[in-house]
Structure 1
Amino acid sequence: MINVSTTDAVGLLELDRPDRRNALDVAQCRRIVEAVTGLVDGGVRAIVVTGSGSSFCSGADFGEVYTDGFRDALHAALRSVAGAPVPVVAAVNGPAIGAGTQLAIACDLRVAAPGAVFGVPTARIGLAVDPWTVRRLAQLSGGGTARAILVGCDRIGVDLAHARGLVDRLGERADALAWATELATLAPLTLRYNALALDRDDLADDDPALLAAFEDCWNSDDRHEGQQARLAGRSPIFHGR
């Protein structure tokens, strides 16, 4: 199960398999894709991903992880989160192991509660994560931490994860929702461009997609709105165009 709701232009996607500590199977991965698509189509300006109970996501469901369809379903879920055109915040309320860490790092930002733990122990079970996960983990937490997690099979607690940059803020679900509510008021085209430039460090400065996103910001109605709001001493109201 996945619980989906929307408040003040912020979508909440809650994994809800407490009996399996929110482990991901094929059906759950497909539900993530459907939930993200539905929230974006519904006009949300930010999304929070979290888990019910005491776990964020304990990883892949071992009843399906070795099946032919699981890997494709997981990658589709991760791509839907990482590729969402709005900011996605992970409210990591507890352990995020294996696919749980992958889901957390697919989000743009991470807020973690005291019980959060990260780890990718694939070497203990003879599996492997895709290259995107390896590079993304290194990009967020640094090469040393990524090696400790992937090669050393270390589990990283919330304080160390915060110190290393894997976690952006310490807090609970309410803190993640408050941050997402703030993000929902910011200029969507600017946020989209910033995320593209950060996530796609393989793009050259003159890449057409990067340049187009950059020019969209400067040529947008939102740029004019930001200017007018500043002159008037009021908060801007952005529409993403």
Structure 2
Amino acid sequence: MSNAMDEMFEIERRDSILILRMNRPDRRNAVSQGVWLGLPDLVARINAMDDLRLVVLTSSTPGMFSSGADLVEFKEVGFDVEWSISNQRAVGAALQALAECVHPTLAAIDGPTIGAGAALAIVCDFRIATPGSIFAIPPAKLGIVYPQFATVALVALVGERHARSLLLTARTIAADEAAQMGLIDRIVPDLESGVTAVAADFSSTSPTAVRLLKQSIRRAVNDPTALSDDLVRAAVTSADFREGVHAFIERRPPGFASISGQD
């Protein structure tokens, strides 16, 4: 990984779960352009890990998810129009890569989740948060626009009414309101048990089917008329499909090869 990525992330493999911990406590996990530029490559390497069930994005610092964009970097170069445009493009490419990760992704949040940090959480498949977590999207207070990919994802997640409230007023909301509007899925007493509960949801699912279903959902959003022949073909010819059908008929739990690591 690049220096920026090494500085930003600690990576832990725990069986079929990969944990990405933001670890920049001195900057409150502020996200620099180097991180945005390096994230697509990291996601590509994660996509190549066939035996994963869940990818978790969290923080190594209790009580702090992310303070957002690196404003020190903005102060140094952000007034350069070309840099700002290239940075927005890098942010969009990084968020799209994370959103299109082939494995299920979970943002495990404890504490302030601001701006760019919220964008990282928004594009994950699932979000859990502790009761004391807070959320804000402050570009309106900074005189800048939110990355377009993040805005589209936010509207899809919470609807236009809530997106307007968050973006145009830049107000801070607590975890309970975030849950009510759909910004997060669950409020959990602690992240460890919350991650374990989400991982358990996938314990009897076929990773092959989950990957294909993620593609199908993206197509449903982006092009509802798109055919899914290739997804059906990939599913029906997989070992997971044969095992799933036999397990259902035989009334037993499935033993998916793509979970157990067997060929």
TM score, norm. by length of structure 2: 0.82
Map 1:154-173 to 2 at 5 A: 154-171=171-188, 172-173=190-191
Secondary structure of the residue aligned to 1:60 is coil
Match of 2:46 in 1: 39
Distance 1:142 1:230, change over 3 A: same
Distance 1:157 1:214, change over 3 A: farther
Map 1:42-191 to 2 at 5 A: 42-43=49-50, 44-53=52-61, 54-65=63-74, 66=78, 68=83, 69-171=86-188, 172-174=190-192, 175-180=194-199, 182-183=201-202, 185-191=204-210
Aligned equivalents of 1:6 and 1:18: distance in 2?
21
Return the letter of the residue paired with 1:47.
V
User: Does residue 217 of structure 2 align to residue 198 of structure 1?
Assistant: yes
Match of 1:227 in 2: 245
Aligned equivalents of 1:226 and 1:219: distance in 2?
12
CA contact (8 A) 1:9 1:181 kept: no
Secondary structure of the residue aligned to 2:169 is coil
1:153-187 alpha-carbon deviations (Å, 9 max, x no partner)? 22221111111111111123211244135426522
When you count helix as a share of all residues, which structure comes out higher? Answer: 2
Aligned equivalents of 1:51 and 1:220: distance in 2?
36
Aligned equivalents of 2:149 and 2:127: distance in 1?
18
Distance 1:164 1:215, change over 3 A: farther
Secondary structure of the residue aligned to 1:142 is helix
CA contact (8 A) 1:5 1:13 kept: yes
Aligned equivalents of 2:146 and 2:232: distance in 1?
32
Which stretch has the larger CA shift, 170-179 or 119-128? 170-179
Aligned equivalents of 2:15 and 2:90: distance in 1?
30
Q: Which one has a bigger Cα radius of gyration? A: 2
Aligned equivalents of 1:118 and 1:197: distance in 2?
30
Return the letter of the residue paired with 2:71.
F
Sequence identity percentage: 31
Aligned equivalents of 1:191 and 1:7: distance in 2?
20
The Cα of 1:94 is off from its aligned counterpart by 1.5
Out of 204, 218, 231, the position equivalent to 1:213 is: 231
CA contact (8 A) 2:95 2:150 kept: no
Secondary structure of the residue aligned to 1:48 is strand
Residue segments in structure 1 that go unaligned for 5+ positions in a row: none
CA contact (8 A) 2:88 2:147 kept: no
Match of 1:5 in 2: 12
Distance 1:30 1:237, change over 3 A: farther
Secondary structure of the residue aligned to 1:64 is helix
CA contact (8 A) 1:188 1:239 kept: no
Residue segments in structure 2 that go unaligned for 5+ positions in a row: 1-6
Distance 1:230 1:105, change over 3 A: same
Equivalences, count: 239
Secondary structure of the residue aligned to 2:132 is coil
